[in-house]
Structure 1
Amino acid sequence: MSTFTIFLILIVVVAFLLVVVIMVQNPKGGGLSSSFGGGGTQQLGGVKKTTDFLDKSTWTLATLLLVLILISNVAIDRGGASADSKALDPDTQVTQPLPEATPLPATNNTATPADSTGN
């Protein structure tokens, strides 16, 4: 398994975890933190601490995802070929063969303009 494949798997896993953490949060203050609070009358573990954990985990996963994506660029196997484009080299002329012309099928259209108008 190549290094790039390992990075790709890590990127997919981190992206999935980031989606899960974001979906657990509720922008109006509900979500997971309100279920631990018991509707605001009773606190089990503290609502503020749950919100802080979800917020910190979101930022951590987002930063990790960005770093993995940037580092994976280094791990891409380029096959030993030059990274420069052949289109930018003025000395190189790439010619492609033209496709063979196919003859159009013969049609038996013997209608005159008077016939096509219904006269």
Structure 2
Amino acid sequence: MSTFSIFLALIVVVAFLLVVVVMVQNPKGGGLSSSFGGGGTQQLGGVKKTTDFLDKSTWALATLLLVLILLSNVAINTGDGTVDSKALDPNATTTQPLPSTTPLPTTTNEAATTTSDSLQ
């Protein structure tokens, strides 16, 4: 298992936890929960410090997610050093084919000229 795969798995787990923490939070302005009968007066679990914990955990998970994404960019496997495109390879030398110096054979189309003369 590569380092990038490990970072990818951690990013998915942290993103899922971040979504869960954000969904559990009680909106400050009432939000949609107050319009559906929530009232916004109940504290989650009856503890006043729960909102502080959820707020801090949201910031911590968001920061962790950003750091993991930046570190995973460093861990991306770039392969064995070969470049697929010669435009991106600074050491590649490309040669353009030279134009042909031999004249093209000319063909006379006598049948076309005779038919056009006979139509007149």
Tell whether the structures are fold-level matches, with TM greater than 0.5: yes
- The answer to whether residue 43 in structure 2 is matched with residue 36 in structure 1 is yes
Q: Which has the higher contact order (CA 8 A, sep 6+)?
A: 2
5+ residue gaps in structure 1?
A: 38-42, 96-119
Residues in 1 aligned to 2:16 and 2:95: alpha-carbon distance in whole angstroms: 44
Residues in 2 aligned to 1:84 and 1:36: alpha-carbon distance in whole angstroms: 58
Measured after TM superposition, the shift of residue 34 of structure 1 is 4.8
5+ residue gaps in structure 2?
A: 34-39, 97-120
For the aligned residue pairs, the C-alpha RMSD in angstroms reads 3.2
Q: Give the % identical residues.
A: 66
Q: Deviations over 1:55-86 (max 9, x none)?
A: 10010000000000001111111112257963
Amino acid in the other structure paired with 1:44: G
TM-score, length basis structure 1: 0.57
Return the index of the structure with the highest Cα Rg.
2
Q: Any runs of at least 4 consecutive aligned residues in structure 1 with deviations exceeding 6 A, and if so which?
A: none
Match of 1:12 in 2: 12
Number of equivalenced pairs: 87
Residues in 2 aligned to 1:64 and 1:28: alpha-carbon distance in whole angstroms: 27
TM-score, length basis structure 2: 0.57
